[in-house]
Amino acid sequence: DSGVTQTPKHLITATGQRVTLRCSPRSGDLSVYWYQQSLDQGLQFLIQYYNGEERAKGNILERFSAQQFPDLHSELNLSSLELGDSALYFCASSSSADLYGYTFGSGTRLTVV
Q: What is the binding site for another protein (CB under 8 A)?
A: 2, 4, 31, 33, 35, 41-45, 48, 50, 55-56, 58, 90, 92, 100-107
- For the CB of residue 62, give the shortest distance to another protein in the complex, in Å: 19
Q: How many residues does this entry show for the chain?
A: 113
- For the CB of residue 19, give the shortest distance to another protein in the complex, in Å: 19
- For the CB of residue 99, give the shortest distance to another protein in the complex, in Å: 8
**Closer by beta carbon to another protein, 65 or else 103:** 103
- For the CB of residue 18, give the shortest distance to another protein in the complex, in Å: 24
**Closer by beta carbon to another protein, 85 or else 105:** 105
**Closer by beta carbon to another protein, 97 or else 100:** 100
CB neighbour list of residue 34: distance below 8 Å, 6 or more residues apart: 23, 45, 46, 47, 48, 60, 66, 74, 76, 89, 90, 91
